[in-house]
Amino acid sequence: MSGNDRIRLRHMLDAVCEALSFTEGRTVDDLSLDRMFFLALVKEIEIIGEAAGRISDDTRKSLPGIPWPKVVGIRNRLIHAYAEVDLSIVWSTVTLALPELRRELESALESKSTD
Protein backbone atom coordinates (compact mmCIF):
# COMPACT_ATOMS: atom_id res chain seq x y z
CA MET A 1 0.00 0.00 0.00
CA SER A 2 1.32 3.41 -0.89
CA GLY A 3 1.90 6.05 1.75
CA ASN A 4 -0.81 8.20 0.15
CA ASP A 5 -3.35 5.39 0.41
CA ARG A 6 -2.43 4.84 4.06
CA ILE A 7 -2.96 8.57 4.74
CA ARG A 8 -6.34 8.52 2.97
CA LEU A 9 -7.46 5.43 4.87
CA ARG A 10 -6.47 7.24 8.06
CA HIS A 11 -8.49 10.30 6.98
CA MET A 12 -11.46 8.02 6.36
CA LEU A 13 -11.10 6.41 9.78
CA ASP A 14 -10.75 9.77 11.52
CA ALA A 15 -13.92 11.05 9.82
CA VAL A 16 -15.81 7.86 10.68
CA CYS A 17 -14.82 8.18 14.34
CA GLU A 18 -15.80 11.84 14.46
CA ALA A 19 -19.20 11.18 12.88
CA LEU A 20 -19.87 8.37 15.33
CA SER A 21 -18.84 10.54 18.27
CA PHE A 22 -21.21 13.29 17.10
CA THR A 23 -24.18 10.89 17.34
CA GLU A 24 -23.56 9.89 20.95
CA GLY A 25 -26.67 10.74 22.95
CA ARG A 26 -28.47 11.97 19.82
CA THR A 27 -31.39 10.64 17.79
CA VAL A 28 -32.46 10.87 14.18
CA ASP A 29 -34.91 13.60 15.22
CA ASP A 30 -31.98 15.81 16.16
CA LEU A 31 -31.02 16.02 12.49
CA SER A 32 -34.08 18.09 11.72
CA LEU A 33 -33.84 20.12 14.94
CA ASP A 34 -30.13 20.96 14.84
CA ARG A 35 -28.81 22.18 11.50
CA MET A 36 -25.22 22.26 12.74
CA PHE A 37 -25.44 18.59 13.78
CA PHE A 38 -26.84 17.65 10.38
CA LEU A 39 -24.15 19.60 8.52
CA ALA A 40 -21.39 18.10 10.68
CA LEU A 41 -22.49 14.56 9.83
CA VAL A 42 -22.83 15.38 6.14
CA LYS A 43 -19.34 16.89 6.10
CA GLU A 44 -17.80 13.80 7.70
CA ILE A 45 -19.55 11.53 5.17
CA GLU A 46 -18.27 13.77 2.37
CA ILE A 47 -14.70 13.52 3.72
CA ILE A 48 -14.96 9.74 3.87
CA GLY A 49 -16.20 9.56 0.29
CA GLU A 50 -13.66 12.03 -1.03
CA ALA A 51 -10.77 10.14 0.52
CA ALA A 52 -12.21 6.82 -0.71
CA GLY A 53 -12.40 8.17 -4.23
CA ARG A 54 -8.66 8.82 -4.18
CA ILE A 55 -7.63 5.34 -3.03
CA SER A 56 -5.70 3.42 -5.67
CA ASP A 57 -7.28 0.50 -7.50
CA ASP A 58 -4.69 -1.88 -6.04
CA THR A 59 -5.55 -0.90 -2.48
CA ARG A 60 -9.28 -1.09 -3.20
CA LYS A 61 -8.84 -4.61 -4.58
CA SER A 62 -6.90 -5.61 -1.47
CA LEU A 63 -9.78 -4.40 0.75
CA PRO A 64 -12.91 -6.05 -0.67
CA GLY A 65 -14.79 -5.66 2.62
CA ILE A 66 -15.16 -1.94 1.97
CA PRO A 67 -18.06 -1.11 -0.38
CA TRP A 68 -16.04 1.43 -2.39
CA PRO A 69 -18.76 2.37 -4.91
CA LYS A 70 -21.28 3.01 -2.12
CA VAL A 71 -18.82 5.04 -0.06
CA VAL A 72 -17.95 7.27 -3.01
CA GLY A 73 -21.54 7.28 -4.25
CA ILE A 74 -23.05 8.69 -1.09
CA ARG A 75 -20.46 11.47 -1.12
CA ASN A 76 -21.43 12.33 -4.68
CA ARG A 77 -25.11 12.27 -3.80
CA LEU A 78 -24.59 14.63 -0.86
CA ILE A 79 -22.49 17.04 -2.92
CA HIS A 80 -24.63 17.12 -6.05
CA ALA A 81 -28.13 16.62 -4.66
CA TYR A 82 -27.64 18.68 -1.53
CA ALA A 83 -31.21 20.00 -1.61
CA GLU A 84 -32.69 16.50 -1.60
CA VAL A 85 -30.83 14.88 1.29
CA ASP A 86 -32.92 12.33 3.17
CA LEU A 87 -32.24 12.68 6.91
CA SER A 88 -33.00 9.02 7.58
CA ILE A 89 -30.37 7.95 5.05
CA VAL A 90 -27.77 10.18 6.69
CA TRP A 91 -28.69 8.73 10.08
CA SER A 92 -28.64 5.10 8.95
CA THR A 93 -25.38 5.64 7.11
CA VAL A 94 -23.72 6.94 10.26
CA THR A 95 -25.29 4.60 12.78
CA LEU A 96 -25.45 1.39 10.75
CA ALA A 97 -22.83 1.53 8.00
CA LEU A 98 -20.03 3.50 9.64
CA PRO A 99 -19.42 1.11 12.56
CA GLU A 100 -18.68 -1.67 10.07
CA LEU A 101 -16.56 0.66 7.96
CA ARG A 102 -14.61 1.58 11.09
CA ARG A 103 -13.85 -2.10 11.74
CA GLU A 104 -12.72 -2.60 8.15
CA LEU A 105 -10.49 0.48 8.20
CA GLU A 106 -8.96 -0.36 11.57
CA SER A 107 -8.22 -3.87 10.37
CA ALA A 108 -6.73 -2.61 7.10
CA LEU A 109 -4.51 -0.06 8.80
CA GLU A 110 -3.40 -2.55 11.43
CA SER A 111 -2.61 -5.37 9.01
CA LYS A 112 -0.99 -3.09 6.44
CA SER A 113 1.31 -1.62 9.10
CA THR A 114 2.96 -5.01 9.47
CA ASP A 115 3.59 -5.45 5.73
Q: Which pLDDT score is estimated for 114?
A: 45
The catalytic position among 6, 77, 80, 102 is: 80
The domains of the chain are located at: 3-113
- Asked about 80 being catalytic, the answer comes back as yes
Taking phi over 0 as left and psi of -120 to 50 as alpha, with beta for the rest, 56 belongs to: beta
Rounded Cα–Cα distance for residues 17 and 23 (Å): 10
Work out the mean pLDDT of the chain and round it to a whole number.
Answer: 93
Instruction: Check: pTM over 0.85? Answer yes or no.
Output: yes
The catalytic position among 75, 77, 102, 103 is: 75
Q: What is the pLDDT of residues 40-87, one digit of tens each?
A: 999 999 999 999 999 999 999 999 999 999 999 999 999 898 788 899
